[in-house]
A and B are shown apart, each in its own frame.
Chain A
């Protein structure tokens, strides 16, 4: 997984509430599109006009927000489907950090699996950052994961384990494989305690 340490980048305002993962990436793009190509389909219904030309009104098509790597989002961003392609599509268009009052829970977990940092802040802080990102001549935002701070003085909370995994780019499967003896011991004891769990599909 790609590490996340500090990020200084353009932040784009994305104030819509309840942005669902169907909106972030359409189902047709989840069935066969290679991961590396998903970026161009992120937000496709809003981002392109019928016929395929860019919609100039879509925020990430505006010259000042092109190449934004931070999205300041409305409440409950990433609600809905578990499709991890939503995170792959965002990452594919360069987004590395999302700031919102709240996130869809499965989506939020998927972000952490892909080196994308979802930051939860109180609504008032997000609103202030939204105004800042929208202001004419807004400069870059800086996100410092080690210090858990946005733009120097806005502190955010993150679990210690998730923080370490992002900072070091650790792979969760590798970490769990190292716990194999514990998994084996759990199953051994559990086979006595709950025998009906095991071997049910063997005919």
Chain B
């Protein structure tokens, strides 16, 4: 028998019933709820007269519509406060633990899941948010769902799914200085396109992936959906187990040993076959930056703007044939489920330390969780950012998606560590350039798109 992939092993052990035709009923081990998508599902099951089947397999937090202004106490407006109240009340009624303001576990769902040990290797985890693929960094099988499927999970603790095909992407070589996880995954999206992973569960492998810490792996897996794949995974290894150990919801004692023994069986077998394979050489990679309105519109920061997609160039206010470096920026956003973890803030702070944000740039740091914020402050990173002229804000999704009104103004140009540069994503007519935290910090200091390797 041919070897099995990590994906196959985790998928197969969650099958409750084969419904025929490649469709299977799967057990959901972990369900992350946020106030925006969560409250709608909660209202929906209440309307149907159903109760949550397994509230103990869910946790909740507040991220999408919360204010991120310093000293915030709720949403930015009454509608948001009402949504938060519904979410709290329904969660309380169902018996779901909510990581609310003042709790270390408040923050972006995809930051707090791993941080709390709620996300573990081999679990099947879902959330009403497309970036749920992030959790695959620990070897979890995780993907984002809409309101109907979310309601299905609340009511049944299961999902009906068609099994996807498998793809492996090998990142070979060691990344050069100034290049990191965000650059690796953006380069892959540029190479195979935003539909390149469509219909696949992707496993990221290779020397450069093994060299990443867990937070870097989360950045890689986070952008799987921008590759067209609902699911991205990385085989758990010693770094993963060390990361998970001792976290709030992680197993302890004999259960830890039992879990560990199981997790060690999960990596793809040496003779496992994938339906598709890609490789990317990391040794020659430059820091990446997007120029258009799709994450696949990406180049090295030392490259020229291509003569392609005229509508995208017009929207972005860029001329083809000119270097992208030197393009003046108005805003810098360091945050989001892609890049708002402690290691991201450290990477940005290394560039910022002892320097000043350009006078015309408004720059924000929005930590991914209350814990990230606390730990960054303990290291004095908040002071580094504030001294340079950054605003140091409260945890939430903020300007990645603007659900709480944190927006880039029309025609303003923003270098952002988030995940989507779609038309209007950060606000109507806003121009978004996706980049790593270090590159975003460099842009804030230079006041223009800049090569972080020269800092």
Chain A residues close to B by CB (< 8 Å): 18, 20, 22-23, 26-28, 30-32, 45, 75-76, 79-85, 87, 102, 104-106, 109-110, 113-114, 159-161, 172-173, 175-177, 179-180, 182-183, 186-187, 190, 194-202
A82 touches B130 (CB 8 A): yes
A176-B230 CB under 8 A given contacts A106-B130, A109-B149? no
Cα A200 to Cα B420 in complex, Å, equals 34
Chain B residues close to A by CB (< 8 Å): 16-17, 19-23, 25, 27, 29, 36-37, 48, 50, 53, 56-59, 65, 79-80, 83, 97, 118, 120, 123, 128-130, 143-149, 151-152, 155-158, 160, 162, 194-195, 198-199, 225, 228-230, 249, 251, 255-256, 258-259, 262, 294, 296, 401-403, 420, 422-425, 428
B228 touches A105 (CB 8 A): yes
B160 touches A110 (CB 8 A): no
B194 touches A79 (CB 8 A): yes
B422 touches A80 (CB 8 A): yes
B21 touches A160 (CB 8 A): yes
A196 touches B255 (CB 8 A): yes
Residue of B nearest to A110 (CB): B146
Residue of B nearest to A180 (CB): B156
B403 touches A31 (CB 8 A): yes
B27 touches A186 (CB 8 A): yes
A20 CB to nearest B CB, Å = 5
B108 CB to nearest A CB, Å = 15
B27 touches A20 (CB 8 A): no
B195 touches A183 (CB 8 A): no
B129 touches A82 (CB 8 A): yes
A114 touches B148 (CB 8 A): yes
Cα A186 to Cα B53 in complex, Å, equals 14
A198-B56 CB under 8 A given contacts A82-B128, A106-B144, A173-B152? yes
B156 touches A173 (CB 8 A): yes
Chain B residues within an 8 Å CB radius of A172: 148, 152, 160
Cα A60 to Cα B251 in complex, Å, equals 55
Chain B residues within an 8 Å CB radius of A201: 56-59, 97, 118, 249
B16 touches A177 (CB 8 A): no
Cα A199 to Cα B162 in complex, Å, equals 28
Contact of A161 among B16, B20, B151, B258 (CB under 8 A): B20
Cα A84 to Cα B251 in complex, Å, equals 34
Question: Which A-B residue pairs are the 6 nearest by beta carbons?
Answer: A84-B146, A113-B148, A196-B251, A110-B146, A82-B130, A82-B144
Cα A80 to Cα B293 in complex, Å, equals 12
Cα A175 to Cα B130 in complex, Å, equals 25
A149 CB to nearest B CB, Å = 20
B423 CB to nearest A CB, Å = 6
